[in-house]
Amino acid sequence: MTVATHFQHKDGVLHAENVSLEQLAHDFGTPLYVYSRQALHDAWNSYHQAAQGRDVLVCYGMKANSNLAILNEFARLGTGFDIVSGGELARVIAAKGDPSKVVFSGVGKQRWEIEAALDAHIKCFNVESVAELERIATIAAEKGVKAPVSLRVNPDVDAKTHPYISTGLKDNKFGIDINIAPAIYAQAQQLPNLDIVGLDCHIGSQITQISPYLDALHKLILLIKQLQDQGIHLKHLDIGGGLGIRYTDETPATPTDLLSAVFQALDAADLGHLQLVLEPGRSMVGNAGVLLTQVEYLKSNQDKHFAIVNAAMNDLIRPTLYEAWHDVEAVRPRNNNATISYDIVGPICESGDWLAKDRTLNLEQGDLLAVMSAGAYAFTMASQYNTRPRAAEVIVDKQSVHLVRPREELHSLFESERLLD
Ligand SMILES: *Cc1c(COP(=O)(O)O)cnc(C)c1O
């Protein structure tokens, strides 16, 4: 789902599918994360169709949005999961996901996380360093099992995205330098408790063009050929996630654009037999959600105008963390022309607490606003900073509404804390 099709104005009011956001604000309060079930299905379908019936495993990059209802929905549609922690593995299991479709990425896998992943029989560890490879081999030997491994290589390509979400350049912390990968594969081959199953790379996020993927793929193909010469035959190639979505006026490449080009390159290299693994996160959920909020106050400091809303950087940190742009739409837009340019800010005591800057809107106190494209890296990055309860999450399915995480209660924010004697 690369555009927010399931959030449209009907009779002058913004809806999620067939439910008005005014109704949701009334029933559940604000701030509120609102997701569209149909948008989740559409996103899955866009990958499923792009696969053209070939052996493709979509391992949803679940750090984008890991609500159990969303994980369960994707699991029922057939996805696997790309996890980056033992906590995420526990979520997959709680959401009835299939561990044998789980790939485990991340530079800092701890012993307990590796043990849990081996016990759950995951599909593969995406190994990011020699030290990690050795730790996995040791733990697998202790358990008397073979650990399935891929090396996550760093292909040193520019994903042409924001530096904080670019991961495939040689000065990023991620992956193993592709130039030394043949030697590390050879080392892995000598370790009896490792089973070499694949090759992995993930070059960044919010990538809108396919050229960075193809630059990386070209290098991966050369590596796979070299491994074949070393007698190492892989089962799968994982090209990571990272496809972008439309936040404003981007025209991101689609899964079909990407996969058609990938299949063509693999077939040309006689590698069409490899299973293709993908790790899309943002493009599966980003435009399936909005953050609904209400204007508490309007205020002007000389010629600067602020709309102070009840959502804040603790609910959506992307603007202040990445200078990310999210569209802000009035739930019930007024007809007369807007002339005032507002910064949309939250109540948190930080100048960095803003959601959008310089937006021309016609606002009054009490208005509802929808911060668009808040399905990915919104709730999962939320905190309780300023002792703000994390907002509720609902999923709309046509006329129905499911509360999939209630608003946190104040007492729950500190109930586990203890006073000194
Ligand atoms: C975050 C992440 C993803 C998902 O990235 P998106 O840009 O959300 O598609 C996939 N793989 C790895 C290893 C990641 O860290």
Ligand 1 atom showing the smallest separation from residue 205 Cα: 7
User: Tell me: the pLDDT tens digits for 225-263?
Assistant: 999 999 999 999 999 999 999 999 999 999 999 999 999
Query: What pLDDT score does 336 carry?
Result: 78
CB atoms near residue 6 (< 10 Å):
23
Q: Are strands 194-200 and 176-177 parallel, antiparallel or unpaired?
A: unpaired
Average pLDDT in the 79-86 region? 98
Instruction: Give me ligand 1 centre to Cα 307, in Å.
Output: 33
What ligand 1 atom has the least distance to the C-alpha of 241? 9
Position 339 scores a pLDDT of 82
pLDDT-wise least confident of 41-50, 169-178, 267-276, 388-397: 169-178
- Check the CA dihedral 307-371-71-153 and report its sign: negative
Write the CA distances from 71 to 98, 109, 389, integer angstroms.
11, 22, 23
pLDDT confidence of residue 1: 55
Nearest Cα to Cα of residue 290 among 25, 76, 98, 10:
25
Active site residues: 349
- Read off the pLDDT of each residue in 101-114 and give the average, rounded to a whole number: 97
332 residue type, one letter: R
63 CB near ligand 1 (under 6 Å): yes
Q: What is the pLDDT of residue 3?
A: 73
| CATH 2.40.37.10 location in the chain | 7-36+286-413
Q: Which two three-digit tokens encode residue 283?
A: 């493009």
Q: Which helix (H) or strand (E) holds 395?
A: strand 392-397
CATH architecture of 105-280: Alpha-Beta Barrel (3.20)
pLDDT, averaged across the chain: 96
* Per-residue pLDDT tens digits for 184-223: 999 999 999 999 999 999 999 999 999 999 999 999 999 9
The topology (CATH level 3) of 7-36+286-413 is Lyase, Ornithine Decarboxylase; Chain A, domain 1 (2.40.37)
Share of the chain above pLDDT 70, in %: 97
CB of 64 closer than 6 angstroms to any ligand 1 atom = yes
3-state secondary structure 324-381: CCCCEEECCCCCCCCCCEEEEECCCCCCCCEEEEEEECCCCCCCEEEECCCCCCCHHH
Closest ligand 1 atom, residue 126 Cα: 13
pLDDT at residue 158 is higher than 90: no
Q: Ligand 1 pocket, 105 CB below 6 A?
A: yes
Tell me, what DSSP letter sits at residue 15? E
Ligand 1 pocket member 242 (CB < 6 A): yes
Pocket test for ligand 1, best of 201, 202, 213 (most atoms within 8 A of CB): 202
Mean pLDDT for the stretch of residues 136-159: 95
pLDDT at 335 over 90: no
CATH 3.20.20.10 occupies which residues in the chain? 105-280
